[in-house]
Amino acid sequence: MNRNPGWYGAVMGTGATALAISVQAVTWQASWLRWMAHIFLVLASVLAVVLLPRYLGRLRDRAALVREIGDSAHGAMLATLPAGLLVLAAAWGRVGWAPIGVWVDIVLVSVGALVALWLGLMWSAGLLRGANELVAVNGGWLIPPVMNLLVPLALAPIIVRFPQAAQLLTVVGFAFYGIGAVLFLAMLTLLIARLALRPPLPAQMAPSMWIPLAPAGVLGMSLLQLLRAAQEAGVPGASITAGLIVSAMGLGFGLWWAGFAWIELRRALPSANPGWWGFVFPVAAMTLSLANLGLYTQVGALEILGALATTVLLCLWGFVAARTARMLRA
């Protein structure tokens, strides 16, 4: 269990919950929600520090680390590390206390983006050797696309804070966005083919069926935040319209996939393990996409739905956190 590569999923879920609460704080002008967002931000930061040695310990045996990254399943789950750092970066940039928040964002996004680029290349190289069977594909294969899609989200607060570097940072954000978007479509195609042509996923992999909700939500949310920041910083031609359109498209696909995943999940629910955090971040990503749509379109129905979705997210986070604590005690 200590060697499970997916533990940083807890950081992703907790950090994204902080972001979701912060959007509600702005939407409803509620200062107590901002304080709640701060609590989740601190909790996510503590989790990041506590869980980091589980990953750094792998550096002692570099040959074993390379083999683990080359393994299609374990390598994909290792992507939770840079993804968690990038979610935390975005949370510090948006929720963190000024002016320290944006500087923490800069450090975390720099480290997270470099690790994401290196890990993504290593994992893709192993994947494209052609040694994998279709039956090995699972929802975890969509985590590497997510880590690239998170880079623009983490860059957005920095673009606003440093408008003199806005054009360069916007280009960098779109470069990572392109990597993540193309990989998402490729991995989603493989996953659908695996589900259609091979036996159902084993019970312990059932939570991974929710992971496609993550890139579906982040796809629009990240683009929306990048364009909003570029527009605010005065980048020529920047407009949030494309971000709103992609957010709505991703939300529609996510709702369809959630229904399909629920049917699959009812077949078998595994016992508590770190994979349970695979429920939290995807739901948080969809919640953030919905909440941001409500915030920037000011459509009352979307604002109410975003608040309801955030409430469901908080309940889900509490449930998974309680199950994880019970598992660790046992």
Tokens found for residue 167? 């054009």
Q: What is the pLDDT of residue 279?
A: 86
Q: Give yes or no for a contact between 217 and 248, defined as CB atoms under 8 angstroms apart.
A: no
Predicted pLDDT of residue 220: 95
The SS3 assignment for 106 reads: helix
The amino acid at residue 49 is: V
Task: List the domains of the chain with CATH numbers.
Answer: 9-329 (1.50.10.150)
> Encoding tokens for residue 264?
């699959």
Q: What share of the chain is helix, strand, coil (3-state, %, to 5)?
A: 85, 0, 15
CA distance 234 to 255: 34
pLDDT < 50 positions in the chain: 1
Helix (H) or strand (E) holding 77: helix 72-78
Alpha helices, H only, 30-165: 31-56, 62-70, 72-78, 80-95, 100-127, 143-161
Rounded distance, CA 288 to CA 23, Å?
A: 8
Residue written as tokens 């972001």? 19
The pLDDT, as a whole number, for residue 275 is: 67
Digit-coded pLDDT (tens) for 86-129: 999 999 999 988 889 999 999 999 999 999 999 999 888 888 87
How far is it, in rounded angstroms, from Cα 277 to Cα 275?
5
Residues 250-273 pLDDT 10s: 999 999 999 988 887 776 555 555
Are 119 and 143 contacting, i.e. CB atoms less than 8 angstroms apart?
no
Report whether 206 contacts 264 (CB < 8 A).
yes
SS3 4: coil
- pLDDT for 158 equals 97
H or E element, residue 246: helix 241-265
DSSP 202: P
Pick the closest to residue 180 from 128, 136, 215 (CA basis): 215
